[in-house]
Structure formats: structure tokens, C-alpha cells
Amino acid sequence: MDLYKMMPLVIYDNQCYLCTKFARVVNFLARGKLPLVGHYTKLGEEIRSQILDSSALEMFWFVDGKTAYGGRAALGPLISAIVQSKGIGNVELQEINACSMECKNTKAVFVRSASLLTHSKKLTITHV
């Protein structure tokens, strides 16, 4: 599969209830034009092995073809992509819904929000 044709795309934790809700909001705001790929899908595993590093599962990622932005670093480019909405269009969310921790309580919201603000990474993509 040619990953470059799918970009820009968002990679999120599809086993986490809150992360899936975040992906739904991104999908709504982008009017379905940004591909959303779950970390634990076959495509997500392929992207992680080809583009991302060992910290990939710690945060969501926005990949634009030249750079992979993770966590806090991804917010700016993601908002820009949402405003521009130049994607491949109408991509379904890939969910597994196998949350292994308490994702639906107040504590989880604070932990995930803090994680978003504390984790940040930027990787240059050499080839896809």
C-alpha cells in the first residue's frame, strides 16, 4: 500500500474510549476528509513500523508526508489540516473498542489530557 497517497492522516489509540471520541471530533471537524487510522489496526501497525519510533503508542500522531508530529506537537498541524481539509475524503473510523483500562471516568479524562500536553515529538520522514 502506498502510504504517501493517504497523507495527511491521523493515527490514534483505537482501543481507548476517550481517544476514539477525540478521533470522532477530528473526523467531524475535518468533514470526513482526513484518514483516521487506529494504532492497533493492521494499517496502523504498518505505519508504526515504517514511519514512527518506539514512543508511537504514547500519543496520537498527525503525519503529513514529510513529518510525523506526535502529541502536543501535532495540534497545530492538525488544526491547519482540518481548516484546509484536503484529504482523500470519507474515511470510516477504525475501532476495536477493547479498552483495557477505565477510560470512561473523570480521572481518565485528566490523565489523557495531561498526557496530550506532556508528550510531544516531531519526526522527519525519510521515505514512505
pLDDT in tens, 62-105: 998 889 999 889 999 999 999 887 555 545 555 545 555 566 66
The alpha carbon of 99 is separated from its chain's Cα centroid by a whole number of angstroms, namely: 17
Identify the domain containing residue 35 by its residue range. Answer: 3-124
Number of domains in the chain: 1
Given a cut of 50, is residue 17 above it in pLDDT?
yes
Model pTM? 0.78
CA distances from 22 to 4, 53, 67, 99, 128 (A): 24, 22, 21, 15, 26
Check residue 52 and give its pLDDT. 87
Check residue 20 and give its pLDDT. 87
